[in-house]
Structures are given as C-alpha cells and as structure tokens.
A and B are shown apart, each in its own frame.
Chain A
Amino acid sequence: MIRWLAGLIGWSLLATQVLAADPVMIGVGYLGLAGTRSTLSLVEQPAENDGLAGARLAIEDNNTTGKFLNQRFTLEERRIREGEDVVQAATELAEKNGFIIADLPADALLKVSDALRDRGTLLFNAGAIDERLREADCRANVIHTAPTRAMLADALGQYLVWKQWKRWLLVVGSHDEDKLFADALRRTATRFGAKIVQEKIFEDKGGARRTDSGVTLIQRQMPVFTQGAPAYDVLVAADESEVFGAYLPYRTWDPRPVAGSAGLVPRSWDASQDQWGAIQMQNRFVKLNSRRMTPLDMQVWTAVRMIGEATSRTNSGDAKKVTDFIKGPDFSVAAFKGTKLTLRDWNLQLRQPILLVDGRMVVSVSPQEGFLHQVSELDTLGYDRPESKCKLK
C-alpha cells in the first residue's frame, strides 16, 4: 500500500514536471474603436495603432520576463467599426482572454463591463478620462490606468499656483467633454486657491481643421477673441475637442502663457520623458513601432505590464488569482515615473504622477512640492477617498 502510494506520488511529480514544459498561456485582449480623431496640429495626429502599439511593447516586455517563468503572453486585438456591436466583440475577446484592455468611450465601456461581469474577465480602462467611471458609475471589474480629468486639472493647477499664476482666464469649448474639463479646472481653482477672472465660450461653428490659408485667418481671430479680458496671469483652455486650443499660444491680446488643452498640457506621458530610466523604454518603443510614444500608448503599456507584474508575482496565469493580487494591498507597478504606482482601492484608479509638457519638453511633474497628503501625495491629484461616490460592485 505504502509502496503503491509512493509510486503514485512519484508519478504525479513526473507528470507535473512534464506539464511544466508547456508554458502558462496568458491571453490579453485589446478592444478599441477603428479610425482616429482629428487634431488641430498635424504632428499630434494620432497613429492608426495609437494605444495598441503600447500593448505590443508590453507583451514583448512581459514575454522577456515570462521566458524565465515559463509564462507566455498573447495579444488579440479588435477594432470596432461604426455600427458594430461592442458587447459582442468584447464577449468574443473574453472567450480566449482573461484580461481586456479597453480604449472605449464611457458608455461603451460600461456596457462591456456589465456584460462581462459574471465571466470574471478583468477590464482595464486605458482611454476614458471621465470622472463618472471612477465615481457614480464605477465597476469592480474595471481598473483605470488612464488618469481622470480632475487628476489632469489638479496637476496643472498645482504648478500654476506654485508659479504664482493664480489669475486664470478660462476659455471653454462648446462640446460636452470641453465643459467637463472646464468643471474639473473650476474645482482645481477652488481647491488650490486660484481665481478664474473670466470665462469665455469658444463656439464650435464647424469648419475644417486643415485649410490652405488658415493661419492668416486665425491670426486675425484669436487676438480679438481674447481682447478686453480682466487682468490675468495665464489663459487656461478647455478644448478636448481640438477646435481652438492650439490656436491660442502667441496670439492672445495680452502677452500671456497658455495652458490646459494647449501650451502647457497635463499628460500621463510624453515622447520627451527621459527621466527615471524612461529612455530605455522610449528607445524600445521606437525600435518596435517606428514612431514615438503617446500618453495612450503608455496607459495601455501600463495596463499590460500590471498583468505581467501580477502573473510573475503570483506565478500564475489564472485570471481570478491575478485579479485578486492586482486589487490587493501588496500590488504596485513601476512605470518610469520616479515612484511606484498603486491602485486607489476605493475605485481602482491607478495613482500616478502627471507630466506637464509643452510638446517638446517635460516642463514639470506633479504633484508639486508642498502639496501634502497623509496617505500618498499622489492623492492630492483628483478625487480623494472621502469625496468619492464610488461603491464598487
């Protein structure tokens, strides 16, 4: 009997060793919309693979680590065209992948998260910056690597206040997301003691972003538009829709710097970020994708790296185990921002420093010195635990 048992144990040991030769497969899905949005500046026009390129690099990075742990990561991508059913696409992706990185508008993301709720698929919101996804509409199966509007606005506001540019002229676009960014900026001004001396609306009356003699016209319009403002230190533009923001720098009636959606811009990442070892990652990215890295690429890279980090720490490809670890107190991820990034456990938002960039250089990194917090200085950016309306379900 004992010998028989010993034999059985020996056999099962052998079996696990044989099984160990097959790598643990970890499937990551990428779900985004087909097509790209149009920007005012031609050089800021997103590439077709914006975001996805970050996933590709992170999958490579994870596989370099994975070869030492017998783990193999795969990427399956889906781009939704107009009229296609996002829930169906997500469900198909979820059949083979325990993790899905989503670059979707808020409503589509909520539909997907509710549809996949009972499958145990973990979603990463890498694209949507809407506050409500972390507040009233937060979901227990969605982790946010994209920063929120409030985080971006606070990051900018802290710097402007540090610089003693406390009188803001706020110019807001006429689209919904412009108004949401303006809301965030107003909240920031109140929190950090800046004053909005006047608000102006820039109506989107339609029209092309590319024209043959645009500059002449813009040069006439913008000084007049900003004429007659009360005394101010900095013009803050809320123009997520890319209608007018980039036209403002150097064209304001008063010689004032521009910030917000143009000029000094708060971003999760920038192609010029080379501190804290980032240069190696920027080089890897350019080598793989033949272009420079955008904030969306970084938000996606971070999501896929979080999966890689958790699978190596747990030595498991099991989605449930990995998800529990990511949501647990011991999780952190390094993402070339000079500090470890952790999750806000009350709404699953990734804490992160925000870069302030001018299109060529990183001007500063927030949180700024002197903005203190009892838990983490990163929580001086955005909505904090006591203000949160999120109930994770």
Chain B
Amino acid sequence: MSRMWRVGLLSGLALTAAPAHAFVAYVSNEKSNTVSVIDTESWTVTKTIKVGQRPRGIDFTRDGKFVMVAVGDDDTIQMIDAKTQAVVDSLPSGPDPELFAQDAAGKILYVANENDNTVTVIDLEKRARLGDIQVGVEPEGMTISPDGKILINTSETTNMAHFIDTHSRQIVANVLVDARPRFAEFKHDSSELWVSSEIGGTVSVIDPGKHEVIGKVNFEIPGLRKEAIQPVGIGMTKDDKTAFVALGPANRIAVVDVATRKVTKYLLVGQRVWHMAFTPDEKYLLTTNGVSNDVSVIDVAAQKVIKTIQVGELPWGITIAP
C-alpha cells in the first residue's frame, strides 16, 4: 500500500516536472535593436520586441516580472514587462551602459558605463540613481559575490578586476589580469572568481580573499590560430564542477573542469560566441552567436549542441526567466 503510494507520487512528480522545462529566454540583438523571445519547449522565437539603440547586457529582475536591457546608444536601461512583453519603463543608468549586476534582493543595480569610467548605482524600486564609483578605463564585466558583500567590475583597457565593497562603495582591491577582461563569474561557493580576458586569450582564476591570481585556464584548439581564441562569457554549473567558456571568433564553447582548470572538450557552436545562460533546471545552456545571428542550445549533461535557433542581427546577451 505504502509502496504503491510512493510509486504513484514519484510518477506524479515526473509528470509535473515534464512541462517545467518550458522556459522563456530573452536575447538582445545588438544590430537589430530588438530582443528575441525564445520558448525552450518548442525552441522557436515566439516574439521579437523592439527596443532602444544597441541592446547588449540583459537580465531578469529577481522577481521575474521584468527584463532589463541596456541600450547603450540611448544611454539607458529599458524595462520589458515579462507578461506583456513590451517596454514599459527605463532606468537612469548613466552614459553607454553595457553590462550590469544586481544584488541578491534585487534592490540595487550596478551598471558599467563604458564611456566615462564609472559604475553607476541604481535603486531598482525607486528607479533612481544613487551614485557613481570611479573605476578603470572601459568598465565592462560585472558580478556580485554570493554573499553580496563584494561587487566585481572589470575594466577592459586598465586590465583589472576591481573589488568594490558594496556597503561603502569603495574599491578595496585591484587585481591585474590579462588584456581586455570582459566577464567575471564567482564560483557558487565563493572560493574562486573567474575573469575572462578576450585579447589575452585566458581565464584568470582569482582567490577573492587574497586578491591574487592563483591560476589560469588556457585554451588550445588544433588547427586554429591562437589569436582567434577570445574568451568572453563564462557559465558555471551550480555544483561548481563544470564551467563553460565562450571563445568568440573561435566559434566554440570550452567545457572546463573547474577543479583542475583544464579544458575537457570544445563544442562547436555558431560564429563569434559571446554570452550564455542556463535554463533554471540546468539541463540546457543557450549561447549567443553574434556573426551567425543565432543561438546554440547545448545539452549540459551530454555536452552536445542539439539545436540552433535563428534570432536577430548580432545577438549579444541572453537571460532566462527564473
């Protein structure tokens, strides 16, 4: 009796779990000035939303109600209502916003403004600007430590990861990395910070406590010249075991064993791959391929590319509903 009940419960769970992998992904198309909405069950574009000039950084608000997209040439961040899938508001971001990060509560937004070497702090509830933090030349990569205490900003021409105390909004450390740092990502257990260097061709692994580079991930693809390997986006699985690194014009995603920092596999995706997002169940990883104007879908467990979806021109960033 109890055993039958258990079986029933399990199969019931399986039934409810099955439709759960229908998620919604939003892709910013830098050249089209649009955002493509992808349904992850049918793997089709269900809507194309017109946004401002040069959409790049894109992310859901923590409550899942809005999608924020940085439209750099309009000097603002637009808010897309996830229900109506239309632009409803904009944020006072400062000039040329590119990438941004929000705190765990979803109350404070930190925006990298490439044009004036600052990070702008925005109150998301009041939608008001709280202040600026001076950083290095061409700030780009943004992330927040899992405990919320440290904001990381990378500056592309200064070649540093700046550690900013989120409470005092002061820089507490600067770590030099290889040329043109584009993206920063913490391990979920906070023990390491990974920073990709597009021109340097490496990912630096930083000890966030000591503020030191403790290792590097190097890439080598037979038959491909070294200059074509330009790491940008990084995605790390929740168990911190596997990292995926987008290699730009190398047209590949590197699968990296986090413990040994060695590449175990290269997955061929579309052309000039930059950013990526996991589905919340971590079954799939979606990557934006700028030059081929498409999104590749990777089966995370199988480490295989299973699908390609055409989107707008020069797809840049991607976010998936929580």
Contacts and interface: CB of A to CB of B under 8 A. Distances in A.
Name which of B137, B159, B180, B249 has the most chain A CB atoms within 10 A of its CB. Answer: B137
A176 B239 CA distance: 68
Q: Chain A at the B interface: mostly helix, strand, loop or mixed? A: helix
A277 interface: yes
Contact of A65 (B96, B114, B136): B136
A4 interface: no
A111 B156 CA distance: 38
Interface string A141-162: 0000000000000000000000
B136 A340 contact: no
A340 B159 CA distance: 13
A280 interface: yes
Interface stretch (A189-197, A214-222, A331-339): A331-339
Contact of A333 (B115, B138, B174, B179): B179
Contacts of A333: 179
A61 B115 contact: no
B199 A68 contact: no
Interface in B130-182: 136-138, 155-160, 162, 171, 174, 176, 179-180
A284 B180 contact: no
Contacts of A64: 117, 136-137, 158
Interface residues of B, number: 25
A82 B114 CA distance: 43
Contacts of B52: none
Contacts of A281: 138, 157
Contact of B227 (A61, A283, A284, A339): A339
Contact of A312 (B156, B176, B201): B176
Interface string B106-140: 00000000110100000000000000000011100
Q: Chain B at the A interface: mostly helix, strand, loop or mixed? A: loop
Nearest to A283: B115
B157 to A, nearest CB: 6
B199 A334 contact: yes
A283 B115 CA distance: 7
B270 interface: no
B225 interface: yes
Given A64-B158, A68-B158, A68-B174, A334 B225 contact: no
A32 to B, nearest CB: 25
A284 B227 CA distance: 26
Contacts of A65: 136-137, 155, 157-160
B159 A332 contact: no
Given A68-B158, A284-B115, A340 B137 contact: no
B200 interface: yes
A130 to B, nearest CB: 27
Contacts of B157: 61, 65, 281, 305, 334
B266 to A, nearest CB: 20
A137 interface: no
A364 to B, nearest CB: 15
Nearest to A351: B227
A141 to B, nearest CB: 25
Interface of A: 61, 64-65, 68-69, 277, 280-281, 283-284, 305, 309, 312-313, 332-334, 338-340, 376-378
Given A65-B155, A277-B138, 14 more contacts: A61-B158, A65-B158, A69-B174, A280-B96, A280-B115, A283-B96, A312-B176, A332-B200, A334-B157, A334-B159, A338-B249, A339-B227, A376-B225, A377-B225
27 contacts: A61-B157, A65-B136, A65-B137, A65-B157, A68-B160, A68-B171, A277-B114, A277-B156, A277-B180, A280-B114, A280-B138, A281-B157, A284-B115, A312-B176, A313-B176, A332-B179, A332-B199, A332-B200, A334-B157, A334-B199, A338-B249, A340-B179, A340-B200, A340-B227, A376-B227, A377-B227, A378-B227
Complex A-B, nearest 3 residue pairs according to Cβ-Cβ distance, in ascending order: A65-B158, A334-B199, A68-B174
